[in-house]
């Protein structure tokens, strides 16, 4: 059996200009989209709380939302996951703690009413209110005051007397959203008809850290791979490999952008894997180009590259095909982020194959031609054919 | 078949058998054993046959697959720094007064972390500025305007303080979790100001938050012994309400109130103590259950906290020449000065060591203690054995070292997965692997015939090697790890596609079967090698930057790629060579 019965002789290099033009356009559109519309960041990066619930009876997402709102949870998104018969839902809330700007202002007023209080400042990121009171207060008093203003309190900590004797420092820790979900949905029921199967709870500062770390990881791996490619091949192969890599990463990011699927840590893992994988196809072709450059000495580089691409076309399709095949199971049985991961990988494999042929190789020619032109200008004025190797 | 081939063949057989042998503990842990006992290494060891590898080499399931809690705690170093700056400000003011340089007031700006000193007499400020900056090296001058001097803490000092705060918080958290008796708990530092905690099998995130969320505060406070009979007199003149179990007990000549309820003691004494005094209790540990208090006793302490655990430089337990257990503590320079002043003023009084609002011990001050070193000698009172006292000394040293949490800790991230969801994910993940692997195996067999079947054998061996490798490195299998497993198999089979395509190509050039196979492998080798290295680079970077489940993905990817270099190149070549050279075949089925 053979996927390509006859040797192909497609003029890939001749079509490089429209291909690069279209790819650049799509890439720019995605980058603009990321800058203006932005990803649908998951809790990993945006911070917030996700609770996965499974009900023991049939219920719709709308009913769950209604129940949550009745219980006092307003800004909550409810999403059905898995099969409809599973009655499993993801509840997403923006905040990590019950402290938001509005609540914090109310809590501040409530605390200030307790006595001579100063230095009240709330740290929304951590769900903390710090303040100093001139006279000692009891934790119960503070707790009831803050809870009265609409913020659930997990703990009131006495930080101790200030050294100058100007008062006692207190810290109020607001309680988490997962608590609130449970109590809101349980309201009016004798015993809960659902099971809390998963809670993801990420503070906004941690989210920012995770996001920065993800971006840094992407940059590092691209640089490291680029150095390896430049070292193993020739420096003129470097830019082509890099741009192909960037192209693939941006395209996969585009999948997350357009599909509005959650962009989270798993998405970063997918992007990084694509960085490692996309260069594979490129290497197969580069290896062949290098081999053919020695074989067809004297032929223009463009022609050699076209031969190399055509010769390796069958295996380029096959390697991508087998990897794509292995993902099918994940696409069928994967839920949530694993499905997204498999889908993103599939997109990455397809665009990776395309970019190896249409982006990485043509760029090598372009660089070579430029180098030759420069040589021609600065050299002894003789017209030179682009030389291979 | 030459000797080289037999060597390689032997190696492959040995690796295959070794891999299967190495997976025995994993098989027992995941299939044979009870679900509840999955993390019980001792039980697993007992079930394993004697010839199997040790139980610790079993495949760990990640928290997302077996259920449990993953937490990241953030150490709130900002609040701690504010408190510290404020305390230093007060120390500066005292220093200025003590050296008779003048009189200053210190004001702290909590947002900017700046200290503003204002002199009563502007003329004294020049001398004060010079002396203060020379003495308090951990502060830098920001601004000076007439009678006011603005200082800010030195950058390197702030960083060191931050680091210490996180380290100490980690110790405390570890100690508290140990008390819970959670098996297989993992506590580690994450970045500059976070601590990561994994609790397999736990299901209530709020409970876990409580465990690590509370802050321990270590304080050194003076006991008010101006009236040693205070509690006895209070009990007589103002007896507790009927039905109360409050009694008066006496130890070392100091009567104390004792009750099984801490609240009862605090309620009873509320409002009955002199101004600037506070009643703090001591927990008398239940001799049978060390984590519980059987009763509480009262102490009357000065309200002022002159010294906190932040000034402590170290603590350790030892035995002195008299064979008495003792705890040696060392203070940092600022703490040493404060401690000297405190002990000088308090000779004959007792100093209470208070941890988390609980009096841990209240040793007597025998003399002024200078040099920043103090000794608490144990075992002079109470009927306990020498060993018990030594144990007590060691615990106290640990409490002193680890108990002082200079910074409040908040929850940065909680990920909890219920056990039933974990089971479901394992089932679905397993199905996904079977379908993906099955399709690839089928395709290879159909497309490349015999060469495809050989690649299939290598692929299955690769899968087993990944699992054994994960078990060997004590890595965990996570849900993204399963995705990585599938993907790695897809990438591994790419190598065989490249080789087989190359063999076909060589055959089409009219080469003999033998030559085609040899050249196919030789020529494809560097391409495969390069492709693996680039994927490995991405894998390692993912490993070093990722956490939790993502790290599991990276581990699977790395182990799989390394295994793939062996299986898709060495293993398939040995088998192919057998068919072509050994059988002296004229044709090859690719």
* Residue B328 and residue B375 in contact, taking contact as beta carbons nearer than 8 Å: yes
| pLDDT tens-digit series, residues B173-222 | 765 665 555 556 778 887 778 888 888 777 766 666 655 555 456 788 88
Asked if B458 has any chain A CB less than 8 Å from its own CB, the reply is: no
CATH topology (fold) of A101-175: Alpha-Beta Plaits (3.30.70)
> What are A181's two structure tokens?
């979900």
For residues B574 and B8, the answer to whether their CB atoms sit within 8 Å is: yes
Res B44: pLDDT: 86
Q: Mind telling me how many Å the CA of A322 is from chain B's nearest CA?
A: 6
Q: Given a cut of 50, is residue B428 above it in pLDDT?
A: yes
Residue B24: pLDDT band with limits 50, 70, 90: very high
Strands B247-251 and B312-319: unpaired
Which CATH architecture does the domain made up of B218-403 adopt?
A: 2-Layer Sandwich (3.30)
CA distance A269 to A264: 9
Helix ranges, A168-300 (H): 177-186, 204-232, 238-259, 265-295
**Cβ(B529)–Cβ(A233) under 8 Å?**
no
- Tell me the HSE value of A307 on the side-chain side, using a 13 A CA sphere: 15
Q: Can you tell me the mean pLDDT for B37-46? A: 80
Report the half-sphere exposure of A233 (CA within 13 A, side-chain side).
29
pLDDT of residue B404: 45
Q: Which residue of B has its CA nearest to A197?
A: B418
Among A326, A331, A336, pick the best mutation site for testing chain B contact (most B Cβ within 10 A).
A326
Residue B450 DSSP SS3: helix
pLDDT-based confidence at B395, cuts 50/70/90? low
Reduced to 3 states, what is the DSSP secondary structure of residue B444? helix
A269 inside 8 A of chain B by CB: yes
User: In A, which residues are within 8 Å of B546 by CB distance?
Assistant: 217, 265, 269
CB proximity B284 to A under 8 Å: no
Residue B432 touches chain A, beta carbons under 8 Å: yes
Q: What is the pLDDT of residue B129?
A: 86
Query: Could you tell me if A166 lies within 8 Å of chain B, comparing CB atoms?
Result: no
Q: How many CB pairs under 8 A join A and B?
A: 262
Beta partners for residue A132, in sequence order: A118, A169
The pLDDT, as a whole number, for residue A384 is: 43
Q: CB–CB of A4/A313 below 8 Å?
A: yes
Cβ distance of A328 and B408 shorter than 8 Å: no
| A85 and B CB contact within 8 Å | no
Q: What is the rounded average pLDDT for all residues in chain B?
A: 81
Supply the pLDDT for residue B383.
Answer: 47
pTM of the model: 0.70
Q: How far apart are the first and last CA of chain B?
A: 21
At B113 the pLDDT is 83
**Residues contacting B246, CB < 8 A, separation 6+:** B235, B240, B257, B258, B259, B264, B265, B268
How far is the C-alpha of B169 from the C-alpha of B403, rounded, in Å? 8
The span from the CA of B373 to the CA of A116, in Å, is 40
With contact defined as beta carbons under 8 Å apart, do A200 and B126 qualify? Answer: no
Beta-carbon contacts of A79 under 8 Å, excluding residues fewer than 6 positions away, are: A61, A89, A90, A91, A92
Low-confidence stretches of chain A (pLDDT beneath 50): 163, 379-389
Find the mean pLDDT for residues B497-524: 90
CATH number of A48-96+178-200: 3.30.70.3400
Measure Cα distances from A171 to A126, A128, A206, B108, B298 in Å. Answer: 11, 7, 21, 18, 26
Q: Are A227 and A78 in contact (CB under 8 A)?
A: no
pLDDT attached to residue B341: 87
List CB contacts of A342: < 8 A, sequence separation 6 or more: A327, A330, A331, A334, B483
Cα A213 to chain center, whole Å? Answer: 11
- Which CATH number applies to A13-42+203-374: 3.30.70.1710, 1.10.150.120, 3.20.20.70, 1.20.1640.10? 1.20.1640.10
> Which of A327-341, B324-338, B575-589 has maximum average pLDDT?
A327-341
Look at residue B405 and give its three-state secondary structure.
coil
pLDDT: which is higher, B386 or B160: B160
Please give the Cα distance from B446 to B465 (Å, whole number): 25
Question: For the residues of B476-518, what is the DSSP string, one character each?
Answer: EE-HHHHHHHHHHHHHHHHHHHHHHHHHHHHHHTT--HHHHHH
pLDDT band for position B478 (cuts 50, 70, 90): confident
H-helix segments, chain A: 16-36, 43-46, 61-70, 101-112, 139-148, 177-186, 204-232, 238-259, 265-295, 301-333, 336-355, 361-378
| Mean pLDDT of the B503-521 span | 90
> Is A128 within 8 Å of chain B by CB?
yes
What pLDDT is attached to residue A199?
Answer: 83
Least Cα separation, residue A266 to chain B (angstroms): 7
Distance CA B103, CA B147 (A): 11
> What CATH number should be reported for the domain whose range is B418-582?
1.20.1640.10
Q: Do A272 and B541 touch (CB under 8 A)?
A: yes
* pLDDT digit string, tens, across residues A104-161: 888 888 888 888 887 787 777 667 788 888 887 888 888 888 888 877 777 787 766 6
Contact B545 A269 (CB under 8 A): no
Phi, then psi, of B359 in degrees rounded to 5:
-70, 120
Q: What is the torsion angle, in degrees rounded to the nearest 10, for the CA atoms of residue B46, residue B50, residue B55 and residue B61?
A: -90
Element (H, E) at B281: strand B277-285
Render pLDDT for B114-144 as a digit per residue (tens, 0 to 9): 888 888 888 888 888 888 888 777 788 888 8
* Residue for token pair 């009990």: B235
pLDDT-derived band at B373, boundaries 50, 70, 90: confident
Establish if B552 touches chain A: CB-CB under 8 angstroms.
no
Residue B357 has pLDDT above 60, yes or no: yes
Q: Specify whether the CB–CB gap between A302 and B586 falls below 8 A.
A: no
Q: Name the residue with tokens 């585009």.
A: A254
A127 contacts B487? CB cut-off 8 A: no
**Where do the domains of chain A lie?**
13-42+203-374, 48-96+178-200, 101-175
Q: Is B545 on the interface with A (CB under 8 A)?
A: yes
Considering only CB atoms, B432 lies closest to which of A159, A205, A330, namely A330
pLDDT for the residue A203: 73
What does the pLDDT look like over B229-239, one tens digit per residue? 888 888 888 88
Residue A295 has a pLDDT of: 87
Q: Measured between CB atoms, does A118 come within 8 Å of chain B?
A: no
Domain range summary for chain B, segments of one domain joined by +: 218-403, 418-582
Closest Cα in chain A, distance from residue B16 (Å): 23
| ipTM associated with this complex | 0.79
């Amino acid at each position: 059996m053979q996927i390509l019965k006859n040797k192909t002789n497609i003029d890939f290099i001749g079509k490089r200009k429209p291909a690069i033009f279209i790819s650049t356009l799509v890439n720019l559109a995605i980058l603009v989209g990321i800058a203006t519309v932005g990803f649908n960041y998951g809790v990993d990066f945006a911070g917030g709380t996700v609770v996965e619930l499974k009900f023991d009876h049939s219920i719709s997402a709308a009913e769950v939302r209604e129940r949550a709102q009745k219980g006092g949870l307003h800004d909550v998104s409810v999403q059905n996951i898995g099969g409809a018969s599973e009655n499993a839902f993801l509840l997403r809330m923006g905040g990590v703690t019950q402290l938001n700007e509005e609540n914090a202002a109310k809590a501040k007023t409530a605390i200030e009413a307790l006595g001579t209080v100063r230095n009240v400042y709330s740290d929304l990121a951590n769900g903390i209110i710090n303040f100093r009171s001139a006279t000692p207060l009891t934790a119960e008093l503070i707790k009831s005051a803050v809870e009265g203003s609409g913020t659930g309190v997990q703990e009131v900590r006495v930080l101790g007397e200030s050294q100058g004797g100007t008062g006692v420092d207190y810290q109020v820790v607001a309680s988490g959203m997962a608590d609130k979900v449970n109590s809101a949905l349980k309201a009016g029921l004798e015993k809960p008809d659902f099971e809390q199967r998963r809670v993801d709870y990420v503070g906004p500062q941690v989210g920012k850290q995770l996001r920065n770390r993800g971006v840094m990881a992407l940059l590092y791996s691209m640089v490291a791979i680029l150095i390896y490619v430049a070292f193993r091949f020739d420096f003129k192969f470097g830019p082509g490999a890099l741009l192909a890599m960037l192209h693939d990463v941006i395209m996969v990011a585009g999948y997350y952008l357009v599909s509005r699927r959650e962009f989270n840590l798993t998405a970063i893992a997918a992007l990084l894997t694509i960085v490692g994988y996309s260069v594979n196809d490129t290497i197969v072709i580069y290896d062949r180009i290098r081999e053919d450059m020695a074989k067809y000495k004297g032929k223009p580089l463009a022609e050699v590259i076209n031969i190399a691409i055509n010769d390796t076309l069958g295996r380029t399709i096959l390697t991508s095909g087998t990897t794509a095949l292995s993902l099918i199971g994940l696409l069928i049985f994967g839920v949530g982020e694993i499905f997204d991961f498999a889908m993103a990988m599939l997109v990455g494999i397809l665009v990776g194959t395309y970019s190896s042929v249409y982006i990485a190789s043509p760029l090598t020619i372009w660089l070579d031609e430029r180098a030759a032109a420069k040589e021609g200008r600065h050299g002894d004025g003789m017209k030179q054919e682009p030389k291979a190797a | 078949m030459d000797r080289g081939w037999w060597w390689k063949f032997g190696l492959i057989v040995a690796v295959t058998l070794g891999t299967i042998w190495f997976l025995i503990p994993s098989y027992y842990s995941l299939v044979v054993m009870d679900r509840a006992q999955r993390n019980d290494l001792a039980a697993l060891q007992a079930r394993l046959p004697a010839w199997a590898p040790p139980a610790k080499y079993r495949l760990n399931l990640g928290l997302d697959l077996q259920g449990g809690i993953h937490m990241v705690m953030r150490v709130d170093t900002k609040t701690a720094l504010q408190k510290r700056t404020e305390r230093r400000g007060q120390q500066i003011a005292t220093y200025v007064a003590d050296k008779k340089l003048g009189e200053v007031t210190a004001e702290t700006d909590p947002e900017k972390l700046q200290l503003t000193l204002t002199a009563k007499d502007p003329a004294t400020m020049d001398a004060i500025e010079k002396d203060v900056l020379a003495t308090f090296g951990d502060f830098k001058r920001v601004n000076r305007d007439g009678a006011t001097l603005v200082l800010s803490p030195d950058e390197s000092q702030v960083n060191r303080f931050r680091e210490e705060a996180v380290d100490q918080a980690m110790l405390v958290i570890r100690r508290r979790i140990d008390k819970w008796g959670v098996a297989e708990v993992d506590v580690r530092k994450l970045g500059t100001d976070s601590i990561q905690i994994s609790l397999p099998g736990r299901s209530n995130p709020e409970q876990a938050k409580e465990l690590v969320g509370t802050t321990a505060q270590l304080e050194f406070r003076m006991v008010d012994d101006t009236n040693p009979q205070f509690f006895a007199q209070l009990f007589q003149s103002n007896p507790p309400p009927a039905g109360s179990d409050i009694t008066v007990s006496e130890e070392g000549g100091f009567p104390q109130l004792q009750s099984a309820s801490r609240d009862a003691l605090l309620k009873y004494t509320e409002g009955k103590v002199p101004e600037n005094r506070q009643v703090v209790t001591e927990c008398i540990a239940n001799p049978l259950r060390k984590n519980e208090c059987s009763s509480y006793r009262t102490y009357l302490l000065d309200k002022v906290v002159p010294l906190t655990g932040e000034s402590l430089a170290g603590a350790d337990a030892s035995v002195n020449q008299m064979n008495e257990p003792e705890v040696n503590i060392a203070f940092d320079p600022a703490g040493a000065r404060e401690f000297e002043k405190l002990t000088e003023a308090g000779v004959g009084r007792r100093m209470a060591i208070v941890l988390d609002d609980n009096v841990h011990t209240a040793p007597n001050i025998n003399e002024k203690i200078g040099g920043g070193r103090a000794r608490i000698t144990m075992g002079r009172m109470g009927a306990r054995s020498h060993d018990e006292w030594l144990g007590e000394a060691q615990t106290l040293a640990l409490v002193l070292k680890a108990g002082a949490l200079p910074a409040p800790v908040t929850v940065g991230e909680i990920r909890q997965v219920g056990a039933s969801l974990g089971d479901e994910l394992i089932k679905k993940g397993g199905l996904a692997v079977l379908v993906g692997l099955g399709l690839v195996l089928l395709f290879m067999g159909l497309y490349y015939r015999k060469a495809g079947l050989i690649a299939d054998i290598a692929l299955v061996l690769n899968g087993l090697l990944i699992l054994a490798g994960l078990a060997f490195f004590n890595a965990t299998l996570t849900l993204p790890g399963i995705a990585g497993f599938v993907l790695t198999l897809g990438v591994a089979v790419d190598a065989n596609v490249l080789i087989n395509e190359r063999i076909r190509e060589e055959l089409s050039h009219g080469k003999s079967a033998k030559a085609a196979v040899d050249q196919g492998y030789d020529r494809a080798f560097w391409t495969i090698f390069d492709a693996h290295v680039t994927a490995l680079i991405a894998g390692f970077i993912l490993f070093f930057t990722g956490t939790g489940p993502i790290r599991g993905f990276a581990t699977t990817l790395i182990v799989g790629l390394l295994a793939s270099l062996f299986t898709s190149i060495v293993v398939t070549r040995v088998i192919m060579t057998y068919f072509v050279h050994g059988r002296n075949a004229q044709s090859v089925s690719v």
